[in-house]
Amino acid sequence: MTDLWHWIDSPLGKLLLVGDGDSLTHLAMSPRPNDVPADGRRDAAAFADVEAQLEAYFGGELTEFDLPLAPRGTDFQLRVWNALLEIPYGETASYGEIAARVERPDAIRAVGTTNGRNPIAVIIPCHRVIGADGTLVGYGGGLDRKRLLLELEAEHSAPRLWQVRS
């Protein structure tokens, strides 16, 4: 099957979306032209729902994506990426916590490596994984982008302690 692809603009810069016609298989930040599948075909319409949900997410209106995803990876990688999907919007988890969730508490470094190879950034929220001491560490898109995503989520998930009266 031919991969479909589409470029979109976002607060993180250009994003490359790649899919198989049914599911999103890749979302790359700061993609290079050679990241576009050589045998692929540009198809903006195939990514209309992905683009709309990303816009809503960046606008603070969406806290949980509802998209068919098909990341390609090993069994361990898929387990880690599924564990990332369980980290709630506006919250974080450490690499050690993810290792424990996939029942491999000794595999903290492997979780870190897998996190860095996440093929569907933002939607599979690898940006929500932090160091055991609470620091921002490692992010394929750069720590500035990780900070931006975490700040966006914190801003839109903070409980309101007051009401605006009209």
Tens digit of each residue's pLDDT (9 = 90 or more) over 58-92: 999 999 999 999 999 999 999 999 999 999 999 99
Q: Where are the beta strands (DSSP E) in 20-128?
A: 24-29, 41-42, 93-94
Q: What is the pLDDT of residue 166?
A: 45
Tokens 């068919």 found at: 68
Q: Which sequence spans correspond to the domains of the chain? A: 4-58, 75-157
70 is an active site residue: no
Q: What is the pLDDT of residue 1?
A: 63
CATH for 4-58 is: 3.30.160
Q: What is the pLDDT of residue 33?
A: 72
Which stretches of the chain drop beneath a pLDDT of 50? 162-166
75-157: CATH topology is Arc Repressor Mutant, subunit A (1.10.10)
Annotated catalytic residue within 83, 93, 122, 126: 126
Q: Do residues 28 and 35 touch, judged by C-beta distance below 8 A? A: yes
Closest Cα to residue 4, out of 52, 59, 66, 70?
70
Alpha-carbon span 148 to 127, nearest angstrom:
10
